[in-house]
Amino acid sequence: MESDYTKILDAMNWDSLFPEHGADYHVLDIGCGPGRFPRMLQARLQTTGLLHYDYLDSSHYCLSICGQSLHQPFFPRNAWQTTLEHAEEILIPGSYDVAWAIQSLSCLNPHALHASLARLIGALHPLRGTACIVLPKHEAFFSQVHPAFFQGCSLSPVPCLSAEAVVAALGTLGTITVIREISCTHTISIRHDRLLEQYLQQCVMDSTPLPTWMQQPRLRQFLESYRHGDTYHFNNPYWLLLCTPASAGTGGRLRLQSYLKS
């Protein structure tokens, strides 16, 4: 959803993450996908330094496409085909100035959440490191459609963690976190079956066709609850989480707050 990324980008002063012109920074992208986020961000950055870019994803295809999309000031360095849960041997503690996980942590196994977040926060520089995490809230359509779909159509459910669950886990780690809510609504005409099908498949990361959805009474009723006249309105509020290790102290919280646009 490119419009969602635009709202996320508009919420922050991204150049303030890289304040020293001509300096080198170390960046980590967790669950990079095809690289849409850095591709949209790089045109906004004014820094004259190099942003050494490490990125990981479970898909070799996504790693390849992401690497091709990176241009100045990003300098591709390491591309790892793995997930955060299995990155314990590649992430060096304290080595990153900035890390981001844009809508990618929702797929974490709940049983591995605490250890995975500890690994992420531990990879940040203890004083100046910043993690930017974007996730849908529990009330968002993205979060609600997963249990509805997998109860009706699939025997192999995938995890779907909400922003609230991640914030709670970060709290147990003592992580300093500030939150900015970003509201997004996706509208689709009831006459655009193919567009609706593609949207739903993207939401649940499953290729089940729309007729199969509609053959399930409870699932059809669930989708109808989002219909207003001739249009579906899917509300998806996100939380943009800015995090820094507890070692950054009060100054770290003030620094995170300064990154957000008023």
74 is a domain residue:
yes
164 is a domain residue:
yes
26 is a domain residue:
yes
pLDDT reported for residue 20: 84
- Helices marked H in 82-160: 113-122, 141-153
Number of separate domains in the chain:
2
pLDDT reported for residue 151: 80
pLDDT reported for residue 158: 73
Q: State the helix-helix crossing angle for 163-172 and 113-122, rounded to 10 degrees.
A: 70
9, 47: one domain: yes
95, 113: one domain: yes
163, 209: one domain: no
Residues of the chain with pLDDT under 50: none
14, 112: one domain: yes
CATH number for 114: 3.40.50.150
**pLDDT tens figures, 14-43:** 999 998 888 999 999 999 999 999 999 998
pLDDT reported for residue 152: 67
pLDDT reported for residue 154: 63
Is the separation of the CB atoms in 180 and 239 below 8 Å? yes
226, 111: one domain: no
154 is a domain residue:
no
177, 193: one domain: no
254, 220: one domain: no
> Taking the mean position of all CA atoms in its chain, how far away is CA 146?
16
42, 99: one domain: yes
Tell the burial category of 10 from Cβ atoms under 10 Å away from its Cβ (0-12, 13-18, 19+).
exposed
pLDDT reported for residue 138: 96
153 is a domain residue:
no
80, 173: one domain: yes
209, 113: one domain: no
As a whole number of Å, the end-to-end CA separation of the chain is 24
Give the whole-angstrom CA distance, residue 258 versus residue 252: 10
pLDDT reported for residue 25: 96
3-state helix, strand, coil in the chain (%, to 5): 40, 25, 35
Q: State the helix-helix crossing angle for 141-153 and 193-204, rounded to 10 degrees.
A: 90
Give the whole-angstrom CA distance, residue 35 versus residue 49: 20
147 is a domain residue:
no
95, 111: one domain: yes
210 is a domain residue:
yes
198, 180: one domain: no
Tell the burial category of 40 from Cβ atoms under 10 Å away from its Cβ (0-12, 13-18, 19+).
middle
pLDDT reported for residue 249: 96
Q: What is the pTM of this model?
A: 0.93
Domain that includes residue 223, residue range: 185-234
243 is a domain residue:
yes
Q: Is 100 helix (H, G, I), strand (E, B) or coil?
A: strand
pLDDT reported for residue 21: 81
Q: Look up residue 244 and give its amino acid.
A: T
